[in-house]
Amino acid sequence: MRPSGVGIFRGPLIIVGCGCLIAVLTFGPRTTIGLLLPSIGRETGWTRDTFAFAIAIQHIVWGVGQPFAGAVADRLGTLRALSIGALLYAAGLLAMAGASTHAVLFLAGALVGLGLSGASFNIVLAAFGKLLPDNWRPLATGVGGAAASLGQFLFAPLCVVLLDRFDWRITLAIFSASVLLVLPLSLPLSTSHQIRKQRESGVSAQTVGRELLRALREPSYILIALGFLVSGFHVAFINLHLPAYLQDNGLDRPSAGWVIATIGLFNIAGSIAVGWLCSNYPNRYILSSIYFLRAFAITMLLLLPLSPPLALSFAAAMGLLWTAPITPVAGMILRLFGSGYVAAIYGLAYFFHQLGAFAGVWIGGWVFEKTGSYDPVWMSLALAAVVTGFITLMVRETPDAG
């Protein structure tokens, strides 16, 4: 079955393919920032908490901007949201490459955050929800998450090569240019036809606000959003601080790079598997299991002596669980509220995710500068994962479900 209103170049395979390529190009560069951290610190003298605060600004601006970008996608179409986001994302990476003061670094972080609001996989998810048949959506979401991880797997070793050959500034400039490829790839994901049909049906712009308020009155949505906050804390802290943590404990930069790449590689399998599982089992059980397994992996990292095999094993385990929450979260939101305003409602949930990400990157840097260790943060990650696993079991997947 092909969605109505799309031609041969807008069929499901083309839509999913272009969405996956966008995920590769937008997810890849931002996951390599942690690999740049030691080089930036040596050249500029900036402490880890300073750079972490710039990335924290990126996450919080991304989170604040996500509901608005979602509203733009819902009201004006995903093509505009993706295009504007890609331009801002590229500008932010270029500004970071030229940063010589804290103010410019923080401004660059804000620009990247604004860009990710419009050009991240969240907007691609909204396009999938509007353009794809129902039976395509869960697996397409999982495949898209896998594509994002492929970006991490490809960009991490590329980042190491570029750092060895050039420096961190040129590396960021190259990544900035690559993001501009999102512009042509976003064309098949245009939802203008669906927007016109929505307007013809008499739906008003104020409906977006009403739907967001409706979401905030739904207890299950609040539980989903709180769980997403913890997930953001996990992935943001690990993505930025894990490479430095490994190098502090004796691993070299290439080894740390392969650890980050391994997370991306295994997340390809994890995302596809979760997409299949969410098509066949209650999504709250899948999501709860993800959080419990994250707690176990982090606990093993803390309890066992750190070595390259342990680091790679941890990366493989976290990779299977890395973007895995996206599919059940998106699925439950679609079931609770339908596809009409999924970009805005999912965007609001993602705001909570980014609040957690802000805390993860900034608190990680602050704790390290104060204590000289990341261990207190690791322990809080494990505890939060256990608590979140239990509260997720309380989620109802439809308003009337028991």
Q: What's the pLDDT score for residue 401? A: 44
- State pTM to two decimals: 0.74
Q: What's the pLDDT score for residue 146? A: 77
Q: Can you list the domains of the chain with their CATH numbers?
A: 15-183+211-392 (1.20.1250.20)
Average pLDDT, the chain: 85
User: How confident is the model over 118-171, as pLDDT tens digits?
Assistant: 987 878 877 887 788 777 777 787 788 778 778 878 888 899 899 889 888 999
Q: Name the DSSP letter for residue 285.
A: H
Half-sphere exposure of 172 (CA within 13 A, CB side): 25
Cβ(186)–Cβ(78) below 8 Å = yes
Q: For residue 251, what are the CA distances in angstroms to 126, 248, 277?
A: 40, 7, 36
pLDDT higher than threshold 50 for residue 347: yes
Amino acid 17 reads G
- Most confident segment among 1-5, 155-159, 315-319: 315-319
pLDDT higher than threshold 80 for residue 267: yes
When pLDDT is averaged across residues 266-276 and rounded to a whole number, the result is 85
Calpha distance 24→114 (Å, rounded): 18
When pLDDT is averaged across residues 373-396 and rounded to a whole number, the result is 94
User: How confident is the model over 164-216, as pLDDT tens digits?
Assistant: 898 889 999 999 999 999 999 999 888 776 666 665 555 544 577 787 888 88
When pLDDT is averaged across residues 336-341 and rounded to a whole number, the result is 77
Calpha distance 110→61 (Å, rounded): 6
| Helices 137-165 and 168-179, axial angle in degrees (round to 10) | 150
Which among 23, 117, 109 is positioned nearest to 63, based on CA atoms?
117
Counts for the chain of helices (H) and strands (E), in that order: 18, 0
